[in-house]
């Protein structure tokens, strides 16, 4: 288990294969703010609503220069189908071995109908242009979440 991440910590490095056959990494995005959101599974109801919400706000994130990346343990092929089916615009990173999920502390014990199992805790990290964690949302509830992240990104881009 990794240490808990806190606001102000250096974001753990990542390099992930994406749905488009490319790679996305923290190093390549240095100098840009990043929204890195972790979700349990492609094409499930909550994960679909979250990806659709971030896609709807993508033009606003783009105007702020913010990269938005969704991460799950699903394969690149699964991501590509998920993206095509729902016309998603966000980049989806594949972390099949769960190393990035674990480095961000998102691999947790969950419980469903009394059965305990390990899974991804729906979490979002706002990373500043210097690679430091600016905001953390854990146990995310999907309704209104993308809007809240956008507001935090705006505040980070335009500090008063």
Active site residues: 47
Tell how far CA 130 is from the center of its chain.
18
Give the tokens for residue 158.
């335009």
What contacts 83, CB < 8 A, 6 or more positions away?
A: 19, 92
3-state helix, strand, coil in the chain (%, to 5): 30, 30, 40
Distance between CA atoms of residues 92 and 36, nearest Å: 10
Distance between CA atoms of residues 135 and 7, nearest Å: 6
Query: Residue 147: in which H helix or E strand, if any?
Result: helix 145-157
Distance between CA atoms of residues 120 and 101, nearest Å: 7
Three-state SS at 132? strand
């Amino acid at each position: 288990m990794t240490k808990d991440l806190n606001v102000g910590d250096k974001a753990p490095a990542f390099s992930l294969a994406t749905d488009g056959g490319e790679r996305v990494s923290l190093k390549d995005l240095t100098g840009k703010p990043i929204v890195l959101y972790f979700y349990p599974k492609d094409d499930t109801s909550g994960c679909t609503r979250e990806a659709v919400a971030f896609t709807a706000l993508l033009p606003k994130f783009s105007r702020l220069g913010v990269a938005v990346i969704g991460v799950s343990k699903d394969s690149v092929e699964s991501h590509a189908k998920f993206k095509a089916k729902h016309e998603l615009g966000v980049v989806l990173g594949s972390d099949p071995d769960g190393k990035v999920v674990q480095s961000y502390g998102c691999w947790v014990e969950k419980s469903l109908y009394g059965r305990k199992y390990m899974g991804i805790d729906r979490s979002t990290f706002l990373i500043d242009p210097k690679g430091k964690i600016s905001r953390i949302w854990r146990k995310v509830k999907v309704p209104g979440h993308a809007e809240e992240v956008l507001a935090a990104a705006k505040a980070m881009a335009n500090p008063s």
